[in-house]
């Protein structure tokens, strides 16, 4: 004949003890250590028969129950009292610590069940995601001049007026123009006196950039008309200008220059 065991799962030894107390329908303060120990050990034996692993905390509780049961079975020592102290108090019950632990465990277990019910109820509620209601909000008018004093506005106005006045003002800069023809005449006058001259002698320190360019163009024009020869004694050396003397100054002055 086969025997069917149906064992419930418990979270710990205290959970198993509460189950046995509720099953016996007795008050937790009036538990019988002998009876509850017998039922507890029977549950552990059933677990061993089914080759289930018995954790250490269940074994520790079994040892505790056996110790309390043994303590109740042993005869109580005599009470010795004197005028100073009492050696033994028979009002102490070895079950008190276990009962206190069971009461606290039952309270926390009840709270856990309530939280579990709240979680289940909340899981049945499906909420809608929040929508962006910004487009439906009224735009608050922000005064751009908030926090400004009248004097600040007047200063800003004066600054704008002064800036506009400076923008409308203008000045004309006149530059002394020198033509290539005039520069040719000057170079020829120098060459008729010295015949040979270096290019650096024709450039003064106070000359502007455009005057140096015009001087160089005048030399190129004189070379084109074959009135002068230019050569260097060495690479990057100063240019030497030689007057060939094949035309007079008046003839050169009548030459039309395109630039």
Distance of alpha carbon 31 from alpha carbon 24, whole angstroms: 9
Distance of alpha carbon 143 from alpha carbon 246, whole angstroms: 86
Q: Write down the pTM of the prediction.
A: 0.38
For the cut 60, the answer to whether the pLDDT of residue 5 exceeds it is: no
For the cut 60, the answer to whether the pLDDT of residue 251 exceeds it is: no
Closest alpha carbon to 222 in 254, 196, 187: 187
Name the helix (H) or strand (E) containing 72.
Answer: helix 56-73
Q: Determine the pLDDT at residue 83.
A: 47
Q: Determine the pLDDT at residue 249.
A: 52
Which residue ranges make up each domain of the chain?
13-123, 180-253
CATH node for 180-253: 1.10.10.580
Q: Determine the pLDDT at residue 105.
A: 87
Q: Give the lowest-confidence range in 38-47, 138-147, 199-208.
A: 138-147
Asked if residue 257 lies in contact with residue 251, where contact means CB atoms within 8 angstroms, the answer is no
Number of H helices, E strands in the chain: 8, 3
The neighbouring-strand residues paired with 81 are: 86
Q: Per the structure block, which two tokens stand in for 163?
A: 């800036």
Distance of alpha carbon 91 from alpha carbon 76, whole angstroms: 11
**Model pLDDT for residues 104-148, shown as the tens digit of each residue:** 888 888 898 899 999 989 888 888 888 888 878 777 777 776 777
Q: Determine the pLDDT at residue 115.
A: 92
The total of other beta-carbon atoms located within 10 Å of residue 18's CB is 18
Q: Determine the pLDDT at residue 87.
A: 46
For the cut 50, the answer to whether the pLDDT of residue 176 exceeds it is: yes
Provide the percentage of residues in the chain whose pLDDT is more than 70. 75
């Amino acid at each position: 004949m086969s025997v069917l065991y149906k064992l419930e799962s418990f979270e710990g030894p205290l959970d198993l003890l509460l189950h046995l107390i509720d099953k016996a329908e007795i008050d937790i303060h009036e538990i019988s250590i002998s009876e509850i120990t017998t039922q507890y050990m029977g549950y552990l034996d059933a677990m061993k028969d089914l080759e289930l692993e018995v954790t250490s905390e269940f074994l520790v509780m079994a040892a505790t129950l056996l110790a309390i049961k043994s303590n109740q079975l042993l005869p109580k020592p005599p009470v010795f009292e004197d005028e100073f102290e009492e050696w033994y108090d028979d009002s102490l019950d070895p079950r008190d610590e276990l009962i206190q632990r069971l009461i606290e465990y039952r309270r926390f277990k009840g709270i856990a069940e309530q939280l579990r019910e709240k979680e289940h109820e909340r899981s049945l509620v499906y909420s809608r995601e929040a929508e962006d209601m910004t487009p439906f909000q009224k735009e608050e008018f922000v005064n751009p001049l908030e926090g400004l004093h009248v004097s600040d506005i007047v200063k800003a106005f004066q600054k704008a007026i002064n800036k506009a006045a400076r923008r409308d003002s203008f000045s004309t800069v006149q530059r002394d123009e020198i033509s290539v023809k005039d520069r040719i005449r000057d170079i020829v006058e120098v060459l008729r006196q010295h015949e040979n001259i270096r290019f650096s002698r024709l450039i003064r320190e106070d000359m502007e950039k455009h005057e140096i360019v015009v001087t160089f163009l005048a030399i190129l024009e004189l070379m084109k008309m074959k009135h002068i020869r230019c050569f260097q004694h060495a690479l990057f050396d100063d240019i030497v200008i030689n007057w060939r003397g094949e035309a007079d100054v008046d003839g050169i002055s009548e030459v039309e220059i395109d630039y």
